[in-house]
Structures are given as structure tokens and as C-alpha cells.
Amino acid sequence: MQTGNIDACMYARYVDLQKLLEHRSLLLLGPRQTGKSTLLRSLFPEAPYFDLLEADTYRRLSAHPEYLRQTLSPEVRLVVIDEVQKIPELLDEVHLLIERNRSLRFVLTGSSARKLKRGRANLLAGRAWTARLHPLVTPELGRAAVLDRMNRGGLPGFFDSEVYEEDLRAYVGTYLQEEIQAEGLSRAIGNFSRFLEVAGLTNGEQLNFTKVGSDAGVPPRTIREYYQVLDDTLVAYQLPAYQATVRRKPVAKSKFYLFDLGVARILARQASIVEGSAAYGRALEHLVFLELRAFLDYTRRDEALTYWRSRSQLEVDFVVGNDVAVEVKAGGNVGRRDCKGLLALAEEVPLRRKLIVCREPRRRVIENGIEVVPIEDFLQDLWGGRVVSRSPAHP
């Protein structure tokens, strides 16, 4: 784990950028306010730093991308370019500099993959690896209460804020005003705003473009594009369906999750979440998803993260690769009916682990080796490498 300067970062971030930079330059992706700039300024205080949110820097480099090459001395070993998607043409200069000096490393940050793809930017042809910075996760927050995480989310600047509710509302407003207009959708801001409100209510559900379009008053084809905007601007995920079962035909639709619990709560216009509520159950599932996704990204595992649902409505919330299945239950007393999905999936797939994550106070093992695990224990096990191995496919 890379801690950097804890005072400057506030939190010791789990992602180990320095180890990755031993091998390649990096494209560090993550939504705004996840802490990319703070982390990089802490880890690499001596590196030349080009912040494209600064107006003068943006003007100079957008007019003359070669300025980057002309200002770097031969002794420089690491360069940071913040929000590189604002000038995709800079990647040509980065490519050239890496070709001329194989020991030179770049860290390029971005809060939108959409602009890079849309501009057909030079993505460095394998000369840089991609990493993702997530909102705060268990090893960074320690034993922060699950309920606090559901309400506050994991954005570093907001988690300890006394006015986190206002901060989260402002974040959603900023996203609409800045990110979406920057994506060229300013003429459709009203339609997109209505879509976003409806999308917040579908967090954790299967994608249904027709239904969301009807509720938002927007054509389904446009709704599909809007969901892709959320994915490309890194504020949402589409969780694919597991397809490896034969006897029980699986559904094919993906599920939709927002990138942060607090942002999801604000978009759904929910008051504070309390234990035992329906909102608590949905948030608990969302929390487990975000932790699994971050763990796989940070440890650079290439196992697929999916969910499984048969056409007869048997379901397992999460499947990691082909051998770990996780069901999330908000209750404090797991019974046999809570095992139906896991038992059905295990009949067709040789699962190594079958877990029910819940609010029970102690671990136990029930029929067919299904493990009942308290949420706090599950999170510690996950990041300790006891659910999925931490050994990466590459560093």
C-alpha cells in the first residue's frame, strides 16, 4: 500500500502508483473529488505538474502542445499532467517523449474517458497502463461505521465534513453544470437532468432503457446514450450478467451502479439511511459492489465481476470469476430461503466460496458449505486477500 504524505493526502490511499510506475507510465482515471490531484502532489512534490484546469496552462498547451516537450529538461524522470482529457492532442507529445526516453514516466489523470475516445486520441499504444482511483474504501477508512459510509459516501473531501449533505448536493450540481456541458450536451441539459433523477432511483437495478425513458420523458435511444455518458465520465458502472449456466437460462441485461454511495443517495432524494429500512438493504448491496470493484482494480486482478439471475428469478448478487459467489442480505437472521440463489448456481458452477454477507453478529457455516459472514468481517477478509487472492495478473 502506498501511503505517501498522509498529512497532505488526509487518507493513506491503497493504490500503489510508485510500484506501477516502475514498469510503465500511467493514465490515472477517476471522477472529480476522488483525490487524484491531492495524491499526486503528495507523492511527487518535485515533479513538473501541468494542471489543465488552470486557465493559463490550458491556453498555452492547447495552442502549442509542443510547449510540453520544449520545457522539460533532460534530467526530468517523472511528469504529471492533470485532466489530460481537456487536450487529447497532448498525448501525441507524451508518446514522442516516451519514445525518445524510455526511462521517462508520465502520470496522466482524467475524469472523462469519453473525450479521449471521442477525440480518437493517441492512447500511447501500450506505453502506459491504466489505473483507477476510487472513493475511499475499507483499508483507507479503517473501521468506519457502515451506516456512516452509506450516508456520507467515500469522497475524501466530504466524508469528514460537518456539512457533507450540502457538499454532496453541490457535487451533483457541479457534475451537471461542468462535466455534462463539457461533454457537449449543454443543449440537452434539461433532458439529462430529468434522466439523472430517474437513474438515481434505478441504482442497483437492471438497465431498462424503455422504462427510464418513459419516466424521464426521453426516447429510449437517447437514454442508452445517457447511460453511456455516465459510464464514460466514470460516475457509474454497468455490471454484466453472468452467462455460464446452461440448465437455468440466465438473463443478459446489465445492472447499473453509481460510483459512490453518498452521491447515489442524493440523486435518489433519500433522507438519511437507517438500519432495517429498504434503503439500507439496497445501500448494503451497493457498498459490497463498490468494495469488490475497487479491490479487483487496485490489486489488478482480471477476474470478471458479474451478477447472476435466471429467467425464473433465482439470483446471486455478485460472482467473481467463476469460483466466488456473494449474496447480500440486510437482515440479521439468515434462513434457508436466503440460500436459494447460491444453491442453484452451485449446481451448475463449481464454486470455491459461497458467501452470504449480512448483519448477523457472528460467522457460521450452513448447508452445502454456505458461509454466513457479518459485513464488517467480509470487508476485512476481502482486503486481506481471504475472499479473492491479491496476487495480480501483472503488477
Whole-angstrom Cα distance, residue 361 to residue 146?
A: 14
How many of the other CB atoms lie within 10 Å of CB of 371?
A: 18
Q: Which phi-psi region, left, alpha or beta, contains residue 254 (left: φ > 0; alpha: ψ -120 to 50)?
A: beta
CA 195 to chain centre: 21
* pLDDT < 50 stretches in the chain: 1-9, 120
Whole-angstrom Cα distance, residue 381 to residue 371?
A: 13
β-pairing, 236-239 vs 255-258, is antiparallel
Which of 189, 192, 188, 235 minimizes the C-alpha distance to 216?
192
pLDDT tens track for 18-49? 999 999 999 999 998 999 999 999 999 999 99
Hey, is 209 helix, strand or coil? helix
Task: Report if pTM > 0.85.
Answer: yes
Domain ranges of the chain: 6-133, 139-383
As its CATH architecture, domain 6-133 has: 3-Layer(aba) Sandwich (3.40)
- Which grid coordinates are listed for 252? 443478459
State the average pLDDT for the chain.
90
pLDDT tens track for 177-195? 676 666 666 567 788 888 9
pLDDT tens track for 104-142? 999 999 988 777 766 545 567 778 899 999 999 999 998
